[in-house]
Amino acid sequence: MADMSHTQPAFGGMLRNLIDDGILELRTEPLDALVERRLKHLWEHTPCPQCGNRSIRTWENVDRVWCRSCQFKPAYTYGTPFSEKDLTCGEVLLAFILYADTLLSINQIAIVLDRAYNTIHTAIRDLEAALERGFPVVWNRLKQPYSGPLQVDESGKVCSGYKGQDPPRPGRARGGSSRSGRTRWQGRHGDQLTLVAACRDELTVIRAKKGIRYEGDLEPLITEAEDLSQPLGEVWTDGLQAYRWMEYDHRTVIHKEQYISPDGVHINQVECLWSLLHPWLRKFRGLSKHGLEQAAHTFGCVWSLNNIGASLFALIDCFTPGRFRSFA
């Protein structure tokens, strides 16, 4: 392997060395089989996208499925983010798990999987977009019980000032280094965004908003949390002025005076979330506004699935809303 000591991240490089030396074997075949098994199972319980009939057949060790009514014969990955990638299904899933559930950056994941950065980046971005569409469908199917108030809090975050290519590759004219390879953006800061999180039992919803108004900025997040759980009984917040406009049964703790009010109101659950989210966001070394919004939402979805001990099948289902939305 060529010398990459000047660009290779330390932890990702060490992990790659373990693989190269045969100490750690990276095998994605079991993940390939798991994704194939789940997608074919969904095909068997889904109407044909061409004729609408429930007459799809699948076979082991065959990459295509077959509709007996209209003779439609797509690949089993048809209509999912696993389709038409320069990666196996297992590699796509593994890349996303390493991205969403560890402190490894996309650059480090590319090194571990011995793939081009753009290949990994494209696959992860496609899965993120699918996750945002599919998570509500899967979460509703899991039918988790909910109790207690919804805790809401906010935290500031400055996004990258670079407004163009994602991810940025800054040159000297934009404040970057003259060295070859991807370097960190060093230009002016971008927008100050507000990370807003709502926690209720195991469910966590996180959004990145430019403003701090209730209507238009904070209300959509609370509405989303309600849609994903059930009608909210109470909402607990700190003393931020914007929350005073909400129509929910609203109780407040004033942090300048105390962290738990005399009648037990607190936002400790969501406050603890920031100690996990901020280190995870730092691994990106700067995110554009859109990238930060996407990353914050991804973290909330994956954190919620982890909290209930959801299987990998539930995660795979989140990536297939366009093709398998009617699956029950």
Q: CA-based Rg of the chain, rounded to a whole angstrom?
A: 22
Helix/strand/coil for 171: coil
Report how far apart, in Å, the C-alpha atoms of 303 and of each of 180, 280, 313, 316 are.
36, 12, 16, 15
- Show Cβ contacts of residue 132 under 8 Å, excluding neighbours closer than 6 positions: 294, 297, 298, 301
- Beta strands of 127-270 (E only): which ranges? 150-160, 189-200, 203-209, 235-237, 250-252
Quote the CA–CA distance of 115 and 21 in Å, as a whole number.
18
Nearest to 90 by CA among 15, 130, 33: 33
Q: What's the pTM?
A: 0.83
**What does each of the 328 residues of the chain score in pLDDT, given as a tens digit?**
334 444 455 666 777 788 788 887 888 999 999 999 999 999 998 888 888 888 899 999 899 999 999 999 999 999 899 998 999 999 999 999 999 999 999 988 998 898 999 999 999 999 999 999 999 999 988 877 888 899 998 888 877 765 444 444 444 444 444 455 444 444 456 678 889 999 998 999 999 888 888 887 888 898 999 999 888 888 988 888 888 888 888 888 776 666 777 787 888 889 899 999 999 998 888 888 888 889 999 999 999 999 999 999 999 999 987 655 444 4
Beta bridge partners of 165: none
Domains and CATH numbers, the chain: 1-144+308-328 (no CATH), 145-307 (3.30.420)
